[in-house]
């Protein structure tokens, strides 16, 4: 395994594995035995960065979520896991009532919710401090300053380490970070967005993002990452939920003329290296010039092994330039 540092403050920064493991469906779709086997193998391979959220996976059974955090808590206790593994969680998108969702009835990012949700996550995970806490989705009903101050208060108390943000417009991320800096408060240091080698259309509206997706790491966010060397991007859905091996799973917003060309470039490099296309995608992210940590999901140990092997795949400068340059 290889490692990189997230965060800049010596008191909160952490060294994490360059490959993160997503626990979104652990304890719900993925049963406990399989979830434990995946977590055990990941840690055995040197993995130290696990991702969850307080609302995972509410959509499976119409609940408010929490199954993933609860399973991770049981796994930690049964394995004696302490601070050698960094567990990141999120708040803001938990449904306020069973049978509702994060679009119509989210918990939001008020100071009250931040405090109560963080405490619940700590209880479910069985930790005294959340290593990394993300603001999951935007909340336009609460002043940004309230969210900034509410998160910073938990850092000051020592119940939260690093702060992160996902699925926010870049201008709101910058405004929140500038507000925190002006007040001498800790701000967002880790950004979590969908990112892969194939590029989606970002102008396709949906229920959560009527102006087009804010969940993808587009050109503006990558430019922001390049300009702010203290930030790290955690890239979720890097393998597009299996679409690289199952084209029928490719989301509709990837159906455009640029996709076949980029896919062929990946396949060329895969043939040259003897690796799978999935491994090339992960290696391209891990070894690039931007600080990107791919966040992979897995429903079987075999899937996880494929992703773990990508850590040691070294692309040549020419191969990387080819993947970067294809349009």
The pLDDT tens digits for 125-161 are: 999 999 999 999 999 999 999 999 999 999 999 999 9
Judge contact between 90 and 134, C-beta under 8 A.
yes
* Alpha-helical runs (H) found in 52-101: 58-61, 67-79
3-16-231 Cα angle (round to 5): 95
CATH classification of the domain holding 281: 3.20.20.100
Residues 135 and 114: their CA atoms lie apart, in Å, by 9
What's the mean pLDDT when you consider all of the chain? 95
Could you list the residue range(s) of the whole structural domain that residue 30 is in?
A: 3-325
Mean pLDDT score, 216-241: 95
Residue corresponding to tokens 């091996």: 245
pLDDT score of 228:
96
Residue 223 has pLDDT above 70, yes or no: yes
Active site residues: 56
pTM: 0.96
Rounded CA Rg of the chain: 19
pLDDT score of 311:
98
pLDDT score of 43:
98
Which residue, 269, 217, 207, is CA-closest to 238?
217
Residue 306 has pLDDT above 90, yes or no: yes
Residue 206 has pLDDT above 90, yes or no: no
Number of separate domains in the chain: 1
pLDDT score of 86:
98
Q: What percent of the chain has pLDDT over 70?
A: 98
Residues 35 and 44: their CA atoms lie apart, in Å, by 14
Mean pLDDT score, 38-48: 98
Lowest mean pLDDT among 71-75, 123-127, 201-205, 306-310: 201-205
Mean pLDDT score, 271-277: 98
pLDDT score of 208:
66
Q: What percent of the chain has pLDDT over 90?
A: 91
Longest distance between any two alpha carbons in the chain, whole Å: 54
């Amino acid at each position: 395994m290889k490692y990189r540092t997230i965060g800049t403050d010596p008191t909160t920064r952490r060294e994490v594995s360059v490959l993160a493991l997503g626990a979104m469906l652990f304890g719900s779709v993925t049963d406990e035995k399989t979830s434990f086997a995946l977590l055990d193998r990941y840690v055995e391979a040197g993995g130290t960065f696990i991702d969850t959220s307080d609302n995972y996976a509410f959509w499976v059974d119409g609940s408010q979520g929490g199954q993933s955090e609860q399973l991770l808590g049981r796994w930690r206790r049964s394995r004696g896991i302490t601070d050698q593994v960094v567990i990141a969680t999120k708040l803001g998108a938990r449904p306020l009532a069973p049978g509702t969702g994060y679009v119509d009835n989210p918990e939001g990012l008020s100071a009250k919710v931040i405090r109560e949700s963080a405490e619940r996550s700590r209880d479910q995970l069985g930790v005294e401090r959340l290593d990394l806490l993300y603001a999951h989705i935007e909340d336009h009903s609460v002043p940004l300053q309230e969210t900034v101050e509410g998160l910073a208060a938990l850092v000051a108390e020592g119940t939260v380490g690093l702060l992160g943000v996902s699925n926010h417009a870049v201008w709101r991320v910058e405004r929140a970070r500038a507000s925190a800096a002006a007040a001498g408060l800790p701000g967002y240091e880790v950004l979590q967005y969908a990112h892969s080698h194939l590029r989606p259309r970002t102008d396709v509206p949906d229920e959560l993002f009527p102006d087009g997706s804010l969940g993808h790491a587009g050109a503006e966010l990558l430019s922001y990452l390049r300009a702010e060397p203290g930030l790290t991007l955690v890239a979720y859905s890097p393998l597009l939920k299996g679409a690289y091996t199952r084209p029928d799973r490719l989301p509709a917003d990837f159906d455009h003329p640029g996709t076949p060309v980029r896919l062929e470039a990946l396949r060329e490099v895969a043939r040259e290296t003897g690796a799978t296309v999935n491994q090339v995608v992960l290696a391209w992210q891990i070894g690039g010039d931007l600080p990107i940590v791919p966040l992979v999901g897995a429903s079987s140990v075999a899937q996880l092994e494929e992703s773990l092997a990508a850590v040691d795949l070294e692309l040549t400068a020419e191969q990387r330039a080819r993947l970067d340059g294809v349009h």
